[in-house]
A and B are shown apart, each in its own frame.
Chain A
Amino acid sequence: MNQPVSATVVEEKQLVVGTSLWQDAWRRLKKNKLAVFGAIVLIIIVAASIFVPIFSSYSYDQINLDKSSEPPSLEHWFGTDQLGRDILVRSLIGGRISLMVGVIATAVSFVIGVTYGAISGYFGGYIDELMMRIVDVIYSLPYLFLVIVLLAFFTKSIFMLFFVLGAVSWLTMARIVRGQVLSIKNQEFIEAARAVGVETPMIIFRHVVPNTLGPVIVYTTLTIPSAMLSEAFLSFLGLGVQPPLASWGTMVNEGVEAISVYPWQLIFPGLMMAITLFSLNFLGDGLRDALDPQMRKD
């Protein structure tokens, strides 16, 4: 009975700085070969999209009818399109547009979705019901209809496209965040924060939101490809990027028309897009596993 508490309870390891859950997740992510591979491929594609067109001697809108629809050669690695434009450069410019659509649309949906979902979930009651019914109503409208209406109302600039895509994809994000908040706000540590007198905005941003971010990040990485696909689809319908600007969607669209004669016009942009989507999915899966608390070994 006379053991001094402090001397006996203290662990012997004197590690001063601990590993946070983020660091822990990062460590697990690094172990996932597929996710690391996806991340590296993504970085290469992003870097290439940014830098290659700058240094290339061709530009995406440089028409050369003499070299119309040439197959891949040393001069034009990916061949040329019907107007004799270099497909490599166009694919990378298209990549810029497609990636930007993915990232910006996702960022828009992230900001709206997280704020909306957190408020709805934390306050609950009538506020929650009202906010979620609004989401339900928007959900029930045909997505495409909504986009077409929005794009018809405003000018058809690319930036509008970013925001329109973001504005329709925040709904799922809001629902995910709300669900997370609902489960977290009843945890004892939230009650503990209230018990020591922490004010509500601080509770939401210091205690609730950081704990919802795991699933949100995973969903985000999966929203990027879906926004890119939506853009491709809208471009396919002629609602997206306007020529001469290219995106993977418009290039695939043009390529399909010539598939039997000039297959490279479809294959290369299609392949770029497929590789990007695969990489994003690998990374998303890896993040999901890394951030899943169930996977953590204490």
Chain B
Amino acid sequence: MAKSNSAILSVRNLQTHFYGDGAVVKAVDGVSFDLKLGETLGIVGESGSGKSVTNLSILRLIPYPPGKIVGGEVIFDNKDLMKIPENEIRRIRGKRIAMIFQDPMTSLNPFMKIGAQLMEITQLHEGLNNSQARKKAIEMLELVGIADASRRIDDYSHQFSGGMRQRVMIAMALSCKPELLIADEPTTALDVTIQAQILELIKGLKEKIGTSVILITHDLGIVAGMTDHTGVMYAGKIVEYAPTEELFSNPHHPYTKGLLKSVPDPLIEQKKLFQIPGLPPDLSNLPKGCPFSPRCSSATTQCQEFPPIRQINAEHYSACWLEN
């Protein structure tokens, strides 16, 4: 697919806070990135880094209370998704921007037939009638590799295995040929061999339908194989952003470096693993300045002040005071 340089989605200084127990948790604290048309952007981070909240915020799916999007813009198709009325964003959700989640078990309604759930989407967004929607649903199930789709469309979700459910979720997400697919840890709940199937499927369908993808994961291996650009999140901020190959071959931020070194490589034998010391950050009680500094071996007094994200080279950005 020809790559165009125009951005399909621009996120600028997005901020989402959660309020509770007298404390404010800045789950997303000034995130900015661009997603180019037809590309796959990987967002890596550990639990609590804000990677999922960022993507829920894009579709304004943050439950209020306790959460609230307090600032920033998300430009999609020349419109700021944060400002448009609720009924307008509802028409974008599921139709132009679709999501798949980690747990295919809870994302499907156990009391509805798979087919009915698939048909609901196209009926709602594309105004198809019953028989058209059913035909479309079968077509989508075949597309995601569910054998005997015309019969299985009348099954309930518990009659599918985990991997098959995730396929159904992907079929639902892609029913309206969305321009953007947000996949939030789509394979974390699945076994290794099933994970490989689902990743292949997403890769293939992306080519076929021409959807841009945001892939959220904690697994650097998945990012390496699937994405064009990668953003690394830590404590609600993107601390490094670069083309994926560049990020892996020439990481700049100490957190990225540490993460890359702490994953054992299955192809070669290693002696001792590198470990990032310390604990993941407590978002309600962040240190002053760079949130990674307490765990960083290169930290200096300068890190008391938060490092702005800056350009390292052409497309490589990092939020660290370190020299290149």
Which B residues lie within 8 Å of A11 (CB)? Answer: 279
Q: Which B residues are CB-close (under 8 A) to A8?
A: 277-278, 295
Contact of B272 with A1 in the complex, beta carbons under 8 Å: yes
Q: Are A9 and B297 in contact (CB under 8 A)?
A: no
Distance in angstroms between the alpha carbons of A5 and B21 in the assembled complex: 33
Contact status B274-A9, CB under 8 Å: no
CA distance A9 to B297 in the complex (A): 14
A9, B272: Cβ atoms under 8 Å?
no
Partner of A297, one of B20, B277, B279, B297: B20
**A297 vs B282: C-alpha distance when bound (angstroms):** 13
B275 close to A (CB within 8 Å): yes
Closest to B284 in A: A297
Contact B272 A3 (CB under 8 A): no
The reply to whether B274 and A1 contact each other, CB–CB distance below 8 Å, is: yes
- Closest residue on chain A to residue B295 by CB atoms: A8
Q: Is the CB of B279 within 8 A of A3?
A: no
**Chain B residue with Cβ nearest A2:** B297
Name which residue of chain B comes closest to A28, CB basis.
Answer: B21
Across the interface, which residues of B come within 8 angstroms of A1, CB to CB? 272, 274-275
Q: Are A297 and B21 in contact (CB under 8 A)?
A: yes
CA distance A5 to B274 in the complex (A): 12
The smallest C-beta distance from A159 to any residue of chain B, in angstroms, reads 47
| CB 8 Å contact bits of A1-19 with B (1 = contact, 0 = none) | 1010100110100000000
Chain A contacts of B272 at CB under 8 A?
Answer: 1
Residues of A within 8 A of B278 (CB): 8-9
Kindly state the separation between the CA atoms of A141 and B297 in the bound complex, as whole angstroms. Answer: 72
Q: Say whether B20 contacts A9, CB under 8 Å.
A: no
Q: Which residue of A lies closest to B274 (CB)?
A: A1
Task: Write the nearest CB–CB distance from B10 to chain A, whole angstroms.
Answer: 34
User: Which B residues touch A5, using CB under 8 A?
Assistant: 277
Shortest distance in angstroms between B25's beta carbon and chain A's nearest beta carbon?
10
In the complex, A297 Cα to B297 Cα: how many Å? 31
A1 to B257, CA, bound (A): 13
CA distance A297 to B23 in the complex (A): 11
> Smallest distance from the beta carbon of A9 to chain B beta carbons, Å?
7
Q: For residue A5, which residue of chain B has the nearest CB?
A: B277
- Mask for A217-250, Cβ within 8 A of B = 1, else 0? 0000000000000000000000000000000000
| Contact status B297-A3, CB under 8 Å | yes
Cβ-defined contact, B21 with A3, below 8 A: no
Chain A: interface size category:
under 10
Query: Closest approach, in angstroms, between the C-beta of A52 and any C-beta of chain B?
Result: 41
The docked-state distance in angstroms from the alpha carbon of A1 to that of B297 is 10
Nearest CB on B from A119, distance (A): 33
Question: Measured between C-beta atoms, what is the minimum distance from B119 to chain A in Å?
Answer: 34
**Residue of chain A at shortest CB distance from B282:** A11
> Which residue of B has the minimal Cβ distance to A4?
B277
Tell me the complex Cα distance, A1–B272, Å. 8
Which residues does chain B contribute within 8 Å of A3, judged by CB atoms?
Answer: 275, 277, 297
**Nearest chain A residue, comparing its CB with the CB of B23:** A297
A13, closest chain B residue (CB): B285
* Residues on A with beta carbons closer than 8 Å to the beta carbon of B21: 297
Residue with the highest number of chain A CB atoms closer than 10 Å, among B20, B274, B297? B297
Give the distance in Å from the alpha carbon of A1 to the alpha carbon of B277 in the complex: 9
| Complex Cα gap A81–B20 (Å) | 54
Q: Which residues of A contact B274 (CB under 8 A)?
A: 1
**B207 CB to nearest A CB, Å:** 42
A188-227 with Cβ < 8 A to chain B? none
Q: How far is the CB of A7 from chain B (nearest CB, A)?
A: 8
What per-residue 1/0 map shows which CB atoms of B1-34 lie under 8 Å from chain A?
0000000000000000000110000000000000
A245–B278 Cα distance when bound, in Å, is: 69
CB distance from B277 to the nearest CB of A (A): 3
CB-CB under 8 A from B20, the residues of chain A are 297
User: When chains A and B are docked, how far (Å) is the Cα of A297 from the Cα of B283?
Assistant: 13
Q: List residues of chain A with CB within 8 A of the CB of B279.
A: 9, 11
Question: Which chain A residues numbered 1 to 47 have a C-beta less than 8 Å away from chain B?
Answer: 1, 3, 5, 8-9, 11
How distant is A14 from chain B, measured CB to nearest CB, in Å?
Answer: 15
Q: Name the distance in Å between B53's Cβ and chain A's nearest Cβ.
A: 16
Q: Which residue of A lies closest to B272 (CB)?
A: A1
Give chain B interface residues in 18-75, CB to chain A under 8 Å.
Answer: 20-21
A199 to B240, alpha carbons, bound, how many Å? 53
Complex-state Cα separation, A8 to B279, whole angstroms: 9
In angstroms, Cα B273 to Cα A3, docked, is: 13
Nearest chain-B residue to A3 (Cβ)? B277
Nearest Cβ in chain B — how far from A239, in angstroms? 46
B274-317 vs A, Cβ < 8 Å mask (1 yes, 0 no): 11011100000000000000010100000000000000000000
| Bound form: Cα–Cα A38–B30 in Å | 45
Q: Report chain A residues within 8 Å CB of B277.
A: 3, 5, 8-9
The minimal Cβ–Cβ distance linking A296 to chain B, given in whole angstroms, is: 11
Give, as a whole number of angstroms, the nearest-CB distance from A4 to chain B: 9
C-alpha gap A5/B276 in the complex (Å): 10
The smallest beta-carbon distance between B62 and chain A, in angstroms, is 17
**Interface membership of chain A positions 258-298, coded 1 if the CB is closer than 8 angstroms to chain B and 0 otherwise:** 00000000000000000000000000000000000000010
Residue numbers of B with Cβ under 8 A of A are 20-21, 272, 274-275, 277-279, 295, 297
**13 CB-based A-B contacts, threshold 8 Å:** A1-B272, A1-B274, A1-B275, A3-B275, A3-B297, A8-B277, A8-B278, A8-B295, A9-B277, A9-B278, A9-B279, A297-B20, A297-B21
| A residues adjacent to B (C-beta < 8 A) | 1, 3, 5, 8-9, 11, 297
Task: Please give 14 more A-B residue pairs, beta carbons under 8 A apart, in addition to A1-B275, A3-B275.
Answer: A1-B272, A1-B274, A3-B277, A3-B297, A5-B277, A8-B277, A8-B278, A8-B295, A9-B277, A9-B278, A9-B279, A11-B279, A297-B20, A297-B21
The 4 nearest A-B residue pairs measured at CB: A8-B277, A3-B277, A8-B278, A297-B21
